[in-house]
Amino acid sequence: MKLGRIQSMEQYGVSVEVSIPTDDNASRYFGVPLASYGIQPIWIQIVNRGDIDYWLLPNAIDPDYYSADEAALLSGEDLPADKLEEHTRLFRKQALPFYSAAGSTIEGYVYATHERGGRLVEMLMKGRSHSIRMRFAVLLPTEGFDYEYSELRERYAKLDELPDLDIEQTRARLRDLPCCTTTADGTGSGDPLNIVLIGSGENIVAALNTSGWDFTEAISIDSIRRMIGAAMEGNAFPMAPISSLYAFGRKQDIAFQRSRSTIHRRNHMRLWLAPFLSEGKAVWIGQVSRDIGVKITDKSPTLTTHIIDPVVDESREYLLDSLMHTDTVARFAFVKGVGESSRDSPSRNLTDDPYFTDGLRLVIWVSREPVPPEASIDLNWNDSVDPVLKGTAESPPVPAAPEP
């Protein structure tokens, strides 16, 4: 995955490049520590080779972005008066214009609110007859997020060395994967490996960020301290650490979560880069569940752990819903593999939480181009059971269609 480098896309003869400088680089360029003032400059270049004029809608990038003068005034509050005017001129000069005339090239910065670890940059440009919509996921080194402590970069750089499977080979391989996560030594049977995302790292991150999923901080003394504080005060912690589970002989490569009003409740997922490609695209095997409470346990290094919602299939469907809602699903399907368990005879994870499932894995092909829900293609490999009906036992489970 690109890390702070320039990313580019093109539509309708308009090419866009995006990059976010590190906090240190931004401080050196603008002469003040912008991150300390909550400002993150996003560099954008727009080359309009077409014959249509466009207006950039900056609210799509950040509805709380700063104007040039606002950013200069905020970040220059400690500067002497004779330096503030020069400081303001710099911010005005470097601001990105919003109007892109046909045949023109514009570049500059949008002064966004600061986000750690990286961010989604959504470009929305309105033309006379149509709009341009692009999504960029830009990761930045912070030494605070879980993926920075994994070997994901090195593993991702060797994608071309992996076997490339066609669609039916992919389906067969996904059925043969282990059912669940394990402990570090490969023993035990933990949360079910119930999701598969197919797409490049950049597209996966962009789709999840667009859908409200945040990066996860690494476990450290500082993050644990803040997590305990949030738990005691009943506050949210949008990037709270997630404990390590294991698959393919290693802990998760990257984790995401959708926080709620309190740290006790969140949706979270762990992803592992699979040792194979599908039709030239990276495959990410994962586990998704919903945290609904906290309990004391001696099976966790922090002596506490979240309690998962036993209806894990609803968490799986939640992921599909969140991605469809933001037009990022090209295709989807359900493949057998996890194994069925019922409310009367549930499976249990490594911290002894019960769960039950129809035994299917959700497979999502992520799209970088917007795909409305009605255009997402269901490959009809299997029919999933309505998790609400199964969870309340109001209706008998719907049998999955047999696979060849």
Q: What is the pLDDT of residues 2-40, one digit of tens each?
A: 434 788 999 999 999 999 998 999 999 999 999 999 999
Would the pLDDT of 396 be above 50?
no
The C-alpha atoms of residue 230 and residue 243 are separated, in whole angstroms, by 17
3-state secondary structure of 349: coil
Which of 139, 156, 188 is the last residue before a domain boundary? 139
Residue 397 lies inside a defined structural domain of this protein: no
Would the pLDDT of 379 be above 90?
yes
Would the pLDDT of 332 be above 70?
yes
**Segment 71-86 mean pLDDT:** 92
Please indicate, yes or no, whether residues 270 and 376 belong to a single structural domain of this protein. Answer: yes
Please indicate, yes or no, whether residues 285 and 368 belong to a single structural domain of this protein. Answer: yes
Which of 121, 139, 157 is the last residue before a domain boundary? 139
Please indicate, yes or no, whether residues 38 and 182 belong to a single structural domain of this protein. Answer: no
pLDDT given for residue 393 in this prediction: 46
pLDDT given for residue 228 in this prediction: 46
Please indicate, yes or no, whether residues 159 and 296 belong to a single structural domain of this protein. Answer: yes
Please indicate, yes or no, whether residues 105 and 192 belong to a single structural domain of this protein. Answer: no
Residues 6+ apart with CB under 8 A from 157: none
**Segment 191-204 mean pLDDT:** 92
Six-digit token pair at 76? 């220059």
Residue 401 lies inside a defined structural domain of this protein: no
Residue 404 lies inside a defined structural domain of this protein: no
Please indicate, yes or no, whether residues 179 and 322 belong to a single structural domain of this protein. Answer: yes
The C-alpha atoms of residue 211 and residue 128 are separated, in whole angstroms, by 28
C-alpha torsion sign, points 98, 101, 102, 108: negative
Residue 211 lies inside a defined structural domain of this protein: yes
Burial 211-231 (b: 16+ CB within 10 A, else e): bbbbbbbbbeeebbebbeebb
Task: Give me the DSSP letters along 226-285.
Answer: HHHHHHHHT---TT------EETTEE-SEEEEEE-SSTT-EEEEEEEEEEEEETTEEEEE
Please indicate, yes or no, whether residues 382 and 266 belong to a single structural domain of this protein. Answer: yes
pLDDT given for residue 127 in this prediction: 95
pLDDT given for residue 284 in this prediction: 96
Would the pLDDT of 256 be above 80?
yes
Please indicate, yes or no, whether residues 328 and 305 belong to a single structural domain of this protein. Answer: yes
The CATH number given to whatever domain includes residue 81 is: 2.60.40
Predicted confidence band at 266 (pLDDT cuts at 50, 70, 90)? Answer: low
Predicted confidence band at 120 (pLDDT cuts at 50, 70, 90)? Answer: confident
Which of 98, 114, 139 is the last residue before a domain boundary? 139
Please indicate, yes or no, whether residues 261 and 287 belong to a single structural domain of this protein. Answer: yes
Burial 2-20 (b: 16+ CB within 10 A, else e): beeeebebebbebbbbbbb
Looking at the structure of the chain, the number of domains it has is 2
Q: Which residue has the tokens 């500067």?
A: 79
Residue 125 lies inside a defined structural domain of this protein: yes
pLDDT given for residue 65 in this prediction: 96
pLDDT given for residue 193 in this prediction: 96
Residue 400 lies inside a defined structural domain of this protein: no
Please indicate, yes or no, whether residues 170 and 287 belong to a single structural domain of this protein. Answer: yes
Please indicate, yes or no, whether residues 221 and 334 belong to a single structural domain of this protein. Answer: yes
Q: What percent of the chain has pLDDT above 90? A: 54
Residue 128 lies inside a defined structural domain of this protein: yes
Segment of 182-191, 277-286, 300-309 carrying the highest mean pLDDT:
277-286
Please indicate, yes or no, whether residues 225 and 279 belong to a single structural domain of this protein. Answer: yes
Residue 44 lies inside a defined structural domain of this protein: yes
- Segments forming the whole domain that contains residue 14: 7-139
pTM of the entire predicted model: 0.72
Would the pLDDT of 239 be above 70?
no
Q: What percent of the chain has pLDDT above 70? A: 79
Q: Work out the number of other CB atoms within 10 angstroms of the CB of residue 175.
A: 14
**Segment 294-306 mean pLDDT:** 54
Residues 6+ apart with CB under 8 A from 256: 208, 213, 214, 215, 216, 268, 269, 271
Helix axis angle, 81-94 to 68-75, nearest 10°: 140
Predicted confidence band at 272 (pLDDT cuts at 50, 70, 90)? Answer: very high
pLDDT given for residue 271 in this prediction: 93
Mean pLDDT, the chain, integer: 83
